[in-house]
Structure 1
Amino acid sequence: MYLIFITCLFLGKISTQKIVPLDPVKHVSVGDPVNLSCSYNTSTNDVLQWYRQYPTSRPELIVFIYLHETKKESDLPGVSVRVDKDQSHVDLLISSAEISDSALYYCALVPTVTGNLATLYKNLLLHR
C-alpha cells in the first residue's frame, strides 16, 4: 500500500477577496477518494481555479469553475470540482487517488499571479 501526500495552498488575496484551504495537508492511500476544500470570500470575482504542481515543475491549471456552476468535470480522468455557495467553499474531488496525484495543489481566484524569482505570470481569464 502506498501513502499519497497532498498539500493544498491558496493563491489570492486582493482587497476583499480571500481564499483559504480548509485542510492544508492530506495523507491518503492509493485508491482512496480525495476531497480538497477551500473557503472563499469574494465580492467581485466569479471564477475559481485549481492548480497542481509537481516538484521542480511549474503549477499547471487543472480546472476552473464559475461560481454560478455547481459542479464541473476536469479534463483529468476522475477529477471534478464542486461549489457550495451556501458554505462558500469549493472542492476538488479525486475519485480514486493514484501515486501520480502526489503533488502540491493550489486553489486560486482570478486574476492570479504566480511565478518564481526569474519571472512572474499573471493568469487572466480570456474567455467568458
Structure 2
Amino acid sequence: MKLLNVICVLCFTGLSCEQVLTPYTDLEVASERERVTLSCNYSSGVTLQWYRQYPQSAPQLLVMEHMLAKTPGFTLNLDKKAKRMDLEISSAEVTDSALYYCALEPTVTGNP
C-alpha cells in the first residue's frame, strides 16, 4: 500500500522576510515500513522543529531541536553548516499520511 506525505512550509508571525524555509519536495510517496526523509532548507532560525497535522486537527509537534522527549519513530537530523533539517520517519505507516510542517520557532501554543 502506498503512503502519501506532504510537506507544507509556512512563514510564521515574528519571522522576518529574510528567514525562509524551502522544502526539497512538495510531495513524498512511500511504501509501508519504508524509511522516509522529509527535508527543508532554512536561511536562519533559532529553534528548528517539525509538526504533523491530520485533517480537521491542530498541528502536533513531532520533534524539536534540543527536545528531551522525542516522538517514537521520528528523528530530527540537522546540518547547520548546510542549513538543512530533515525529519526521518523510521518505518512509515498509513497513519503517517498527513501534512508535515518544518518551522523555525515554537508555533503551536496552548492545549491541542
Higher strand proportion (structure 1 or 2): 1
**What residue is the counterpart of 2:56 in the other structure?**
56
Where does structure 1 lack aligned partners over 5 or more consecutive residues?
67-71, 113-121, 124-128
Q: Normalization by structure 1: what TM-score?
A: 0.74
RCO higher in 1 or 2 (8 Å CA, sep ≥ 6)? 2
Q: Normalization by structure 2: what TM-score?
A: 0.84
User: Aligned Cα RMSD in Å?
Assistant: 1.9
Larger gyration radius, structure 1 or structure 2:
1
**What residue is the counterpart of 2:89 in the other structure?**
94
Distance (whole Å) between structure 1 residues aligned to residue 103 and residue 4 of structure 2? 20
* CA pair 19-31 structure 1, distance change in 2 beyond 3 A: same
Distance (whole Å) between structure 1 residues aligned to residue 85 and residue 73 of structure 2? 17
Where does structure 2 lack aligned partners over 5 or more consecutive residues?
none
**What residue is the counterpart of 1:9 in the other structure?**
8
Contact 1:9 1:20 in 2 (8 A): no
List per-residue Cα deviations over 1:83-105 (Å, max 9, x = no partner). 01222100000111011111100
Contact 1:73 1:80 in 2 (8 A): no
Segment drifting more, 74-83 vs 53-62 = 74-83
Distance (whole Å) between structure 2 residues aligned to residue 47 and residue 63 of structure 1? 11
SS at structure 2 position matched to 1:87? coil
Shift >6 Å, 4+ stretches? none
Number of aligned residue pairs: 106
